[in-house]
Structure 1
Amino acid sequence: MKRTLAFGGIVATAGLLAAGLAAPAQAAGDVASKPLAATGIQAHNIAAFWFAERAANLIQATPYSVETQVAAKHVSGGGPSADSKPGVVPAIGDEKKAASKSKNVNLPKTMGKVFFIGADNKPHWCTATSVQAQYRNLVATAGHCVYDTASNKATLDYWVFVPGYYQGKTPWGVYVGKQAFTHYDFDVYEDADRNYAFVTVYNGIKMPHAGFDGVRQLIKDRKWDELKSYAWFKEVDKATYLAYKAENALPAYEAGGKYYAWKFTDAGRLGDNVGGQGIAYNQKLGKNVFMFGYPSGSHPDGNYAYSGKTLKWSYGKTFAAQAPAVKGEELQGIKSSFTGEGSLGSAWLLNYKSAKRIGYLNGVTIGVADSDGNKRIDTSVSPYFDGETIGVYNAAKSLWSGSIA
């Protein structure tokens, strides 16, 4: 007999998940894909936006709060069900399993923030994580941290991932999103049961030591020799130069009948720098998971709980949940005090090995709730990762991105 808990528009079922069918559902028609930066020049200008004025846009970005707190009419029963056998994709560095134990909780290097421009034309961020992929170039987060559900535009603009971000610092570089993948039902219907996304990213690029404003002044003053001495520029053809000039985001200049554009420094592949979490799907509920994210903001009672500046963790046992207000009939939840702002996209890691800092991604936070009405957030919810999820992942996992430096 199942015990059902109703709270804040989410219905939780404290029963375990039964075994499923034979093979993961991976129909190609179920996957939606959109470009974020189709060319190197587009990617350069996106990076320039975040690097400008000594990373002012990164520093001033605020947590994304679209559809964060779940509140809806109570609905009884239901919850997720497996659509095939349980399965896992090992994390980077864990392809050959080895036992490891640790009493401390070491924070994963794979975690970071995704930055983008929201429907209000202001910079915002969510939480995200690097995951396993053939070319070590894949990021996982909540679907509405990639696809624009607020203005119904295809995707959010100027999308980048910054692992280990802290107050303008980009320790492993900035990774510009190339191609976004989600489930067709989220792309078209905003179905919360499919509110997840996988994004391929270009190789990282390093933050310039010198600000663009000073470089532009040198161009304005026509100090060509000084510009060349810094090795900030590379020679390009006229068409590339004109493309840079049209965007007006990166410095470019013409001198002596030759054309020059800004030269970024390659930071390497994402997975090589920070690793990548594995993926778990069709898992039984009732298992303990670690949740890692950058929660920010206040509880409903006004208590300021988290700053969003540093990575935090929470630990809990998964249970079945529903949130009909956001079309979520097959969700999973865990008990957590993470407030919603900033925690969207937080990684739920099953079998997390603290010594290695890796586990299996088994969910991403898409909303939070106050289950007992005391005006304190106490629950986070995620889509249940099933065969449909691994189908979207499989569509993204083997696509090459390359360097834009």
Structure 2
Amino acid sequence: MRRTAVYLGALTLAATAWTAGTASAAPHTPTHVDSTSFSAAQQNAALRFWTTERLRAAKDLSAPAQLAGLTAETAETAETAVPQSAGAAVTVPPVTATGASATGESAVGEFAAASSPTAWTGGGLISTTAGKVFFQNATGGTYTCSATVANSDNKSVVLTAGHCVVNASTGEVYKNWVFIPGYANGTRPYGTFTARSLLFDSDYVSSAGNANWDFAFAVLGTVNSRTLVDTVGAQGIAFNSANGQHVHSFGYGGSSAEGSGERLNHCEGDEFIDAGRVGSTMWGIDCVQTGGSSGGGFLSSFDTSNGSGYLIGNISVSSGSNEYHPVLTDEALGVYRQAGAA
């Protein structure tokens, strides 16, 4: 496993929106990116490691306590240690994979009630691009999160939570990291994709886990010589987008009401600012998915008829009846760009 820290200089891009395979945006502010790579041997070992029994035994990961609320000792730092101001809007469109068949019906029947996640039965692109993450920590514990495929130049990137790739208290990057798109009741309909590298903003660790930076991207290998996007498609992704939108969130919550982590669940609502954490720049909705949903996607402009939209964040923390996501500003754009070029 190789870990590197990369400082990205200002990148001057054209002032139009991104299209698949073509980057364009406003000048980019420097971002510090932490990147850990895994050798082919380590990826093969991860594939062997995740037997059906180990998948079932993995524990649902919840956000660390320090993400949910900041202590008085760190409050003063948190007020100044916030993500940079949003720059020009940058969007990458979703894409449907040729031959990928989505499960479920063509449209969702009932919208999820506020504060109550429900099983996603709408099929479409989200049913193939959302999936479960499995990994192991330094002491041998095995855990599970959620992630979503994001369209990228290398067709191999997923968005998840920072706390699903690294221990912010110690800087330990997790190992045997795999993603199973379309996971349902223990099945692997499109195979198991192993991580080639994990990338996150170094401010997440240097701040000891400030949830404002609780996002990460994983670059995955191939299955049967096919990339992730060629296999299952990808959601779009948007940076520096407007806040306060009507959004949908998806994850594999571990409670019995959510199917004990064996099915994809759905929430939706109009997002609002996180007013409960000192220094928070996060936004959320009136719905809570439980442990295991961490890293699942928040999507705007979501079309329930075909299951596609634009990722604007990932499930990070919950408080009361609400769940929140970090916003994807220029800092997240820098991490994403490096992941897409890997």
TM-score by length of 1: 0.65
* C-alpha distance 72-30 of structure 1, shift in aligned 2 (>3 A): closer
Contact 2:83 2:213 in 1 (8 A): no
Counterpart AA for 1:198: F
* C-alpha distance 24-296 of structure 1, shift in aligned 2 (>3 A): farther
Counterpart AA for 2:335: V
Identify the residue that residue 106 of structure 1 maps to in structure 2: 123
* C-alpha distance 185-307 of structure 1, shift in aligned 2 (>3 A): same
> How far apart, CA to CA, are the structure 1 residues paired with 2:245 and 2:227?
32
Identify the residue that residue 161 of structure 2 maps to in structure 1: 142
Identify the residue that residue 70 of structure 1 maps to in structure 2: 68
Instruction: For 1:1-400, list aligned pairs within 5 A.
Output: 23=26, 25-27=28-30, 29-35=31-37, 37=38, 39-51=39-51, 55-67=52-64, 70-71=68-69, 82-93=85-96, 104=109, 105-106=122-123, 108=126, 109-118=128-137, 120-149=139-168, 152-189=170-207, 190-204=209-223, 266=224, 268-297=226-255, 307-322=260-275, 324=277, 329-339=280-290, 341-370=291-320, 378-399=321-342
> How far apart, CA to CA, are the structure 1 residues paired with 2:171 and 2:108?
46
* C-alpha distance 168-267 of structure 1, shift in aligned 2 (>3 A): farther
Give 3-state SS (helix, strand or coil) of 2:281's partner: strand
Counterpart AA for 1:363: G
Structure 1 residue 322, shift from structure 2 partner = 4.8
> How far apart, CA to CA, are the structure 1 residues paired with 2:236 and 2:247?
13
CA displacement, residues 322-366 of structure 1 (integer Å, 9 cap, x when unaligned): 5547xx521111111323x11111100111123332210001011
> How far apart, CA to CA, are the structure 1 residues paired with 2:247 and 2:282?
15
> How far apart, CA to CA, are the structure 2 residues paired with 1:103 and 1:149?
37
Counterpart AA for 1:84: G
Counterpart AA for 1:313: H
Counterpart AA for 2:36: K
Contact 1:80 1:331 in 2 (8 A): no
> How far apart, CA to CA, are the structure 1 residues paired with 2:333 and 2:69?
29
Contact 2:42 2:176 in 1 (8 A): no
Contact 2:315 2:325 in 1 (8 A): yes
Structure 1 residue 85, shift from structure 2 partner = 2.3
* C-alpha distance 316-103 of structure 1, shift in aligned 2 (>3 A): same
> How far apart, CA to CA, are the structure 2 residues paired with 1:398 and 1:348?
23
Q: Which runs of 5+ in 1 are unaligned?
A: 1-21, 95-100, 205-265, 299-303, 371-377, 400-405
> How far apart, CA to CA, are the structure 2 residues paired with 1:45 and 1:72?
38
> How far apart, CA to CA, are the structure 1 residues paired with 2:273 and 2:239?
14
Question: Moved runs in structure 1, 4+ residues, more than 6 A?
Answer: 78-81
CA displacement, residues 18-65 of structure 1 (integer Å, 9 cap, x when unaligned): xxxx936341x4222111x2x2111111111113xxx21112112012
> What RMSD over aligned residues (CA atoms) do the two structures have, in Å?
2.7
Structure 1 residue 83, shift from structure 2 partner = 2.0
Give 3-state SS (helix, strand or coil) of 1:172's partner: coil
TM-score by length of 2: 0.76
Counterpart AA for 1:316: G
CA displacement, residues 377-401 of structure 1 (integer Å, 9 cap, x when unaligned): x1001111111111111111122xx
Give 3-state SS (helix, strand or coil) of 1:130's partner: strand
Counterpart AA for 2:174: L
Contact 1:25 1:83 in 2 (8 A): no
CA displacement, residues 97-150 of structure 1 (integer Å, 9 cap, x when unaligned): xxxx96654351100011001355221100101111122111110011011235
> How far apart, CA to CA, are the structure 1 residues paired with 2:212 and 2:268?
22
Q: Which runs of 5+ in 2 are unaligned?
A: 1-24, 98-105, 110-121
> How far apart, CA to CA, are the structure 2 residues paired with 1:311 and 1:119?
28
Contact 2:236 2:310 in 1 (8 A): yes
Give 3-state SS (helix, strand or coil) of 1:182's partner: strand
Who wins on radius of gyration, i.e. which is larger? 1
* C-alpha distance 71-188 of structure 1, shift in aligned 2 (>3 A): closer
Counterpart AA for 1:70: A
Contact 1:115 1:126 in 2 (8 A): yes
Counting matched residue pairs gives 287
Structure 1 residue 187, shift from structure 2 partner = 3.3
Contact 2:61 2:143 in 1 (8 A): yes
Give 3-state SS (helix, strand or coil) of 1:396's partner: helix
* C-alpha distance 390-80 of structure 1, shift in aligned 2 (>3 A): closer
Calculate percent identity across the aligned residue pairs. Answer: 29
> How far apart, CA to CA, are the structure 2 residues paired with 1:338 and 1:168?
20
Of 80-89 and 126-135, more deviation after overlay is shown by 80-89
Counterpart AA for 2:135: F
